């Protein structure tokens, strides 16, 4: 089997985020069908690669509730950029981020149903 391109791998990641986490950063407002998923994934992959080439990723500002989890996740991402040299820390940092997020977000009341999955901004 031929090795996938970077763009293919990022497109696959986008599709998995959409299917498993209902996270579709490039979805048009109100999109709920998979019809546009391939186009969204392609646009996302191109944007991600372009952003990666700048070596700077805009992620926004942390929320007090999740700021420790964000620190762990960002440091895990930095370790991922080191490839095999950072591998020993990646999983541990992501586990720490997950544990922190679950702990803190469990304290926050759920959004009303009509706001869940809504795009902010």
- pTM greater than the 0.85 cutoff: no
Q: What is the pLDDT of residue 9?
A: 95
How far apart are alpha carbons 2 and 115 in whole angstroms? 42
DSSP 33: S
Q: What is the pLDDT of residue 42?
A: 94
CA count, 13 A, side-chain hemisphere, 89: 14
Q: What is the pLDDT of residue 121?
A: 46
Tokens of 94: 């992501």
Closest CA relative to residue 23, chosen from 12, 11, 33, 15: 15
Give pLDDT < 50 ranges for the chain. 121
């Amino acid at each position: 089997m031929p090795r996938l391109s970077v763009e293919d791998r990022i497109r696959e990641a986008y599709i998995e985020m959409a299917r498993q986490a209902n996270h579709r950063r490039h979805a048009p407002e109100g999109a709920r069908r998979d019809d546009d998923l391939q186009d969204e994934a392609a646009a996302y992959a191109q944007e991600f690669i372009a952003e990666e080439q700048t070596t700077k990723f805009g992620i926004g500002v942390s929320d007090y509730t999740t700021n420790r989890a964000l620190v762990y996740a960002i440091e895990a991402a930095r370790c991922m950029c080191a490839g095999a040299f950072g591998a020993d820390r990646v999983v541990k940092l992501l586990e720490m981020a997950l544990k922190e997020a679950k702990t803190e977000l469990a304290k926050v009341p759920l959004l009303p149903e009509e706001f869940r999955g809504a795009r902010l901004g």
